[in-house]
Amino acid sequence: MITALQTKKTLLSISVSLSLSALILTTSSPAYSAQQDSARKTPVITGSGGAVATINEHASQSAIDILNRGGNAIDAAVAAAATLGVTDPFSCGIGGGGFMLIYLAKENRFITLDHRETAPAGFRSDAFMRDGKAVAWEEAVNSGMSVGVPGTVRGWDEALTRYGRMSFKQVLAPAIQVAEKGFAVTPIFHHLNQGALEKFARYTSSSALYLHQGKALPVGFHFKNPDLANTYRLIAKAGVNGFYRGPMAHSIVQTVNQPPVKAGVQVVAGNMTSADLQNYEARWRLPVRSTYRGYDLVSMGLPSSGGITVAEALNILENFETKGMSRQQIEHLYIEAARLAFADRNAYLGDPEFVDVPLAGLLDKAYAKQRAAMIASDRAMSREVAAAAGDPYLFQNDVSVTLRPQPKPVQLQEERKHTTHLTVSDKDGNIVAYTYTIEDWGGNGMVVPGYGFLLNNELTDFDFTPPHPNIPEAGKRPRSSIAPFIAMKNGKPAFTIGSPGGSTIITTVLQSIVNYVDMQMPMPQAIAAPRLSERNEPKTQVEPSFMNSAQATGLERKGHSWYIDQSDPEIGAANALVFHADGTVTAVSETQRHGVGSAKVQRKAH
């Protein structure tokens, strides 16, 4: 049984949730505490010029270095992301994809870039079915079949070409240096490495890079990735075609279709072609816009469900006057609103190029009022069955809609949590909120031989069993939960927020906004508070420090009940920026989770 590590942070004067360091204490040596990491990192800082918040010190420094050399927020975001591909390879990298939200200050304009992975052209809708039944999730992940066509390098190229000031060569330089020089394996790196041990042990290339004598690299081990450094050099020299064409592309296809398994190991091969890579396109999409208690909120749209689901939940909450309410009452409303929004998310959302989604109805304030009427102030909704989806088609203002689907409650598709989020601003006021991923811990477990990066298992984000808006189809992008947000107030940036965490991304972002806006917590406290993640399940997932608290006891009287994911008790790893009226900015990262995050500014406030 994993127990909660209780400590106090002078910075926040709050009791903290179970630190991952406590989890590591139970699974590895040497002993480690969160205080050690917090002594090395600054998770909260205020200053001027540019600012950055990531989950890794090297990545945050890469962003600041690029800003100091004249790059803008877009350049710095790519530099930080490339470095995270070295330091946090089990969560992200060029073998995956993501969603980037950009604010261009001079034009007062928002840009959203979708470089989500796609299913290969030969992919079938029954790819994850056997004898009429869905295959086990673990079987699907550990296969070439789970790999979507990677979109990250194409996305970086699009962002830099259109809105950056620097070249690939310039922005990849910090990451190349980190990959070459290496770094000491941290407890969080070791923990994630340990979590993917069984996967990596299947493949020769993965074992060679991430295992030592058959075990996860130990804490303190000096890790280098010269193959990835050379891969970045190739991209710096040849550009986007260095990845999507030529020898590297051939190796990606070969890895997917002929996995580099050890003797005696069998996994299902994929069916990716060189044409799949050559034909991959990123998409510039319209942002999702909503409002909440005086803020204008902007986020990613489909195929990510995150922005829409958060916006719908906030629209539902806006029907309740939370001013003067107790924290317990607000959290009750937050849980119920999330439950209803997830019911709609699970029923309606998918890739907009394949599915007609009632987006206007889902985001309509009148629809939210209808959904809010289902919430009682004194008791939780019944958990005997999942909450039913509503009927947003009535609010579409589309007279052509006569026959509407009547979705039944569906079980939440498993969606692993290991992604990364970063946020950057520059001295000119441009902002990037960026989440990218390879999906599960270590993706599908396959390192592309000779190139030093892991491939994704993003196609397991499809719902395996038809009919459903999110079933697999050739060329389709699986539904995501990624939810980078930028909030505006009176026409000016107010804050950004985003997180990794699979489907818990949605609740982490939603709860952080509720904590900040409704409970008026400072952003560091809003992020650090114990998390509750309601996703229309029989019980609400919570972090260990919430259990047996006065808050938990009070909410239990209303009918709420809880569970902890014992294999991964933390929920999310958020990063944020807060913009102040005097022109300064506060960068905020996790003060406890994920081994403590890293916040930096170009000029520290005095």
Q: Is 158:115 a contact under the CB 8 Å cutoff?
A: yes
Q: Which residues contact 438 (CB under 8 A, 6 or more apart)?
A: 90, 91, 92, 93, 95, 96, 418, 454, 455, 456, 457, 458
* Region for 31 from its dihedrals, namely left if φ exceeds 0, alpha if ψ lies in -120 to 50, beta otherwise: beta
Contact yes or no for 127/145 (Cβ under 8 A): yes
Give catalytic status of residue 419 as yes or no: yes
Distance CA 150, CA 436 (A): 11
Which one of the listed residues 54, 118, 419, 508 is annotated catalytic? 419
**SS3 assignment, position 544:** helix
For 177-180, the CB contacts below 8 A with 24+ separation are 178/58, 178/62, 178/83, 178/86, 178/87, 179/86, 179/224, 179/225, 179/226, 179/228, 179/229, 179/232, 179/452, 180/224, 180/226, 180/229
Question: CB pairs under 8 A, 24+ apart, for 26-29?
Answer: 26/2, 27/191, 27/194, 28/187, 28/190, 28/191, 28/194, 28/218, 28/219, 29/219
Specify the DSSP class assigned to residue 540: E
What span, in angstroms and rounded, lies between the C-alpha atoms of 590 and 234? 34
**Residue numbers annotated as active site:** 419
